[in-house]
Chains A and B, each alone.
Chain A
Amino acid sequence: GQQVMQIPQYQHVQEGEDFTTYCNSSTTLSNIQWYKQRPGGHPVFLIQLVKSGEVKKQKRLTFQFGEAKKNSSLHITATQTTDVGTYFCAGPGMDSNYQLIWGAGTKLIIKP
């Protein structure tokens, strides 16, 4: 079945270092969405990418959608403690348009 793989599962960084998470779909996606879940919180919608090769920025966050629309990445420059959480990617299901297929998430941990 359709899968959305996300790597790495965890990433430990020193505050101020960069962070990147990658998302790969087994099928072409019409769009890809990114969400952030803080510890103890709920997922919060960050952004949606629709176009092949699209790049969008939100302050220190850069989101990219691959040319083939099968992969995406989220890059955070100079991480801060407020960035801590789990970042999820999600894309529409191939078999059903009424469902998002979610990656397992990448947990960003700031080293003390």
Chain B
Amino acid sequence: KAGVTQTPRYLIKTRGQQVTLSCSPISGHRSVSWYQQTPGQGLQFLFEYFSETQRNKGNFPGRFSGRQFSNSRSEMNVSTLELGDSALYLCASSEKGAPYEQYFGPGTRLTVT
């Protein structure tokens, strides 16, 4: 099976802009989780979707939102970008859903200037 894919891989945005990141899970996986990773901060959970429903949300401001489509593909949107949003954004797919084993995509490296 093909792995998890994320697009774009790299993105440079200006403070105040918005951005949409995309994630295609492994075929057959209905769960997609999103994480923010910054140096020294580990993996910070953003949200998890399962069959188009958001089942859990991490402690991030409302500027961070997501959705999942009927084909399990997921998008994450960040509005009004701040410099602190610069990070690696990872999505992970799971057959059974979190908290079972997760398979990560390569990530989208977002730089906010």
Genuine A/B complex: yes
B-contact 0/1 string along A78-110, CB 8 Å cutoff: 000000000010111100111110111100000
Q: Given A42-B90, A42-B106, A93 and B43 touching (CB < 8 A)? A: no
**Which residues of B sit under 8 angstroms from A103, Cβ to Cβ?**
42
Q: What 0/1 pattern do residues 45 to 67 of B give for CB contact below 8 A with A?
A: 10010100001101000000000
Is the CB–CB distance between B99 and A92 below 8 Å?
Answer: yes
A100 B42 Cβ-Cβ under 8 A: no
B47 CB → nearest A CB, Å = 9
- Convert B102-113 into 0s and 1s, putting 1 for each residue whose CB lies closer than 8 angstroms to a CB of A: 111111000000
Contacting residue for A99 out of B42, B90, B99, B105, CB 8 A: B99
B25 contacts across to A, CB distance below 8 A: none
Find chain A residues with CB under 8 A from B105 CB: 42
* Contact partners of A105 in chain B: CB under 8 A: 42
Q: Say what secondary structure dominates the interface of chain B.
A: strand
Given known A-B contacts A42-B90, A42-B107, A43-B90, A99 and B45 have beta carbons under 8 A apart: yes
Contact A100 B58 (CB under 8 A): no
A104 in contact with B90 (CB, 8 Å): no
Query: Which residue of chain A is the closest to B48 with respect to CB atoms?
Result: A98
A100 contacts B45, C-beta separation under 8 Å: yes
By a CB distance below 8 angstroms, the chain A residues around B107 are 42
CA distance A92 to B92 in the complex (A): 15
Q: Assuming A96-B56, A98-B56, A99-B56, what are 11 further A-B pairs, CB within 8 angstroms?
A: A30-B99, A31-B99, A42-B104, A43-B104, A45-B102, A45-B103, A93-B99, A97-B99, A98-B99, A99-B58, A100-B102
